[in-house]
């Protein structure tokens, strides 16, 4: 890496693997994240995309179709085995989405406190260009019986609950037993919507069964909800330390290097009281004598220490995946960004990739990057992870003008690229296919599935495949299974 004139060099990361339970955390440093700005064009016309084309999702047309007239849809996941293969069931593809009722009198931006995990299904094995434009998904309703998830909060004070993201494991590809891992949320809010006490976030397991016949797919179970993990304030920040803590989005997997052991990655924050200015030289990551390095004092004076994202790791302590123990975070982004959401472990060609999603507006002072997917590569599930693409971490961003203020998805900056919030909550699927939801395109709100795109992943680099689909955009909500469940007992 030779670096970009006028910018610091990225941190040296060896990709060396450590034992999963070792006390080693990789750092996505300020020196790393600075590479995004270093590769952004400072002189594009306002509102254009300033970022390298191979790392940017093609423009979603403003006349996109919607998946369903009655429910908002955002974070979406698939039915996976321990290696993240995506299964169809009895000839049906199935997806799980956070959903909220469009007809209940609240808008897309109020969805989070109303989120329920819903499911959709469609026949497997039909090419995207033979399906309806919106992907042809049939809405199946909620997964969890009304109120069942509230058992986790028995004896506590709350005013409203929600079901936030997670993952769905097919426990045995020859049976219909499935395990939902999700984030059970309880909010205690006043009439103005402000927190009286910090929200409770509990990573929770619930078991159920998938069923299908010739006409439809349905689920049973999900009546018992087992709390698995609450942030301990020691390895992961909790609500007493920071009312705005992030703790959610469990994704479970097996490491081929540790057969029979189950791990979980999740979104967290570095522990400690909010507002204590304690980032370190390691978080900055500058090389000795780099003429473009910031001093620690400059960074602390900027207030960057309010942003302290962490990608967590836990290990299962029983075969039924109902008891878990925290391990040291895999990655921390202190003084870099506050949210590394929906992390997943993606194993390809002997390399271990962590993909995660993040926002422009959760960056710390002095560092910048678009909404989208970020990636880190190492030689094991715990590694000195190297941020992908010239050391920056950026893998798949929305078209964004980094020279112009962000605005928000609900209140656009008219000078900003009208697609800077076009998509979010991306999940990288087998073969490098990436699904996500549409947030805002030219001020039109989405709440529906994006066109699938494809990224080519090689070593520490990636590029959007512009030959995939139509100029790089595949079908809306094209989320294909790469494995078929062999159990055809339902027929
Ligand atoms: C990402 C996310 C997740 C969370 C959900 C809540 O879009 O912030 O981290 O589970 O949305 O709606």
Per annotation, catalytic residue among 341, 401, 478, 485: 341
Q: Could you confirm whether 442 is annotated as catalytic?
A: no
pLDDT tens per residue across span 166-197:
999 999 878 899 999 999 999 999 999 999 99
* pLDDT at residue number 489: 43
Q: Could you confirm whether 341 is annotated as catalytic?
A: yes
Closest residue by Cα to atom 7, ligand 1, is 425
Question: Within 13 Å and on the Cβ side, how many CA atoms surround 12?
Answer: 5
pLDDT tens per residue across span 420-436:
999 999 999 999 999 99
Binding site membership of 122 for ligand 1 (Cβ less than 6 Å): no
pTM of the model: 0.97
**Gap from CA of 44 to ligand 1 centroid (Å):** 32
Binding site membership of 248 for ligand 1 (Cβ less than 6 Å): yes
Closest residue by Cα to atom 1, ligand 1, is 425
pLDDT band at 491 (very low <50, low <70, confident <90, very high): very low
**Gap from CA of 332 to ligand 1 centroid (Å):** 19
Binding site membership of 116 for ligand 1 (Cβ less than 6 Å): no
pLDDT tens per residue across span 18-47:
999 999 999 999 999 999 999 999 999 999
pLDDT tens per residue across span 85-123:
999 999 999 999 999 999 999 999 999 999 999 999 999
* pLDDT at residue number 136: 98
Binding site membership of 362 for ligand 1 (Cβ less than 6 Å): no
């Amino acid at each position: 890496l030779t670096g970009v004139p006028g910018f610091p060099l990225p941190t040296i990361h060896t990709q060396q693997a450590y034992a999963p339970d070792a006390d080693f955390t990789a750092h996505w440093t300020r020196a790393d994240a600075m590479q995004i700005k270093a590769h952004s064009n400072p002189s594009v016309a306002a509102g254009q995309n300033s970022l390298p084309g191979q790392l940017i999702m093609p423009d979603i047309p403003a006349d996109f179709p919607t998946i369903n007239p009655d429910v908002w849809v955002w974070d979406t996941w698939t039915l996976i085995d321990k290696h993240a293969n995506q299964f169809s069931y009895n000839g049906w593809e199935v997806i799980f989405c956070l959903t909220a009722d469009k007809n209940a009198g609240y808008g897309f931006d109020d969805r989070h406190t109303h989120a329920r995990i819903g499911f959709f299904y469609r026949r497997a094995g039909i090419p995207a260009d033979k399906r309806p434009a919106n992907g042809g998904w049939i809405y199946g309703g909620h997964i969890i019986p009304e109120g069942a998830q509230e058992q986790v909060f028995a004896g506590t004070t709350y005013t409203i609950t929600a079901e936030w993201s997670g993952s769905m494991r097919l426990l045995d590809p020859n049976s219909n037993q499935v395990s939902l891992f999700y984030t059970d949320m309880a909010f205690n809010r006043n009439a103005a919507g402000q927190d009286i006490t910090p929200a409770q976030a509990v990573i929770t397991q619930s078991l159920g069964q998938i069923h299908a016949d010739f006409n439809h797919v349905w689920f049973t179970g999900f009546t018992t909800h087992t709390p698995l993990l609450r942030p301990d304030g020691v390895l992961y920040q909790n609500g007493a330390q920071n009312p705005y803590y992030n703790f959610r989005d469990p994704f479970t997997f097996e490491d081929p290097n540790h057969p029979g052991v189950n791990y979980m990655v999740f979104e967290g924050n570095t522990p400690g009281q909010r507002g204590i200015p304690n980032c370190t030289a390691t978080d900055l990551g500058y090389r000795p004598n780099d003429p473009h390095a910031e001093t620690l004092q400059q960074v602390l004076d900027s207030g960057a220490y309010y942003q302290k994202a962490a990608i967590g790791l836990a290990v299962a302590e029983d075969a039924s995946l109902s008891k878990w123990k925290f391990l040291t975070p895999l990655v921390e982004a202190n003084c870099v960004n506050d949210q590394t959401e929906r992390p997943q472990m993606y194993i390809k060609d002997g390399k271990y990739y962590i993909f995660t999603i993040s926002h422009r507006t959760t960056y710390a002072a002095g560092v910048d990057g678009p909404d989208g997917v970020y990636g880190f590569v190492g030689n094991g599930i715990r590694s000195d992870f190297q941020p992908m693409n010239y050391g920056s971490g950026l893998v798949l961003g929305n078209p964004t003008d980094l020279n112009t203020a962000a605005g928000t998805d609900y209140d656009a900056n008219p000078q900003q690229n009208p697609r800077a919030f076009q998509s979010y909550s991306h999940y990288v699927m087998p073969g490098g296919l990436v699904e996500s939801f549409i947030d805002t395109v030219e001020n039109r709100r989405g709440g529906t599935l994006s066109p699938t795109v494809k990224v080519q992943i090689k070593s520490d680099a990636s590029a959007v495949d512009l030959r995939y689909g139509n100029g790089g955009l595949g079908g809306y909500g094209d989320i294909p299974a790469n494995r078929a469940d062999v159990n055809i007992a339902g027929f």
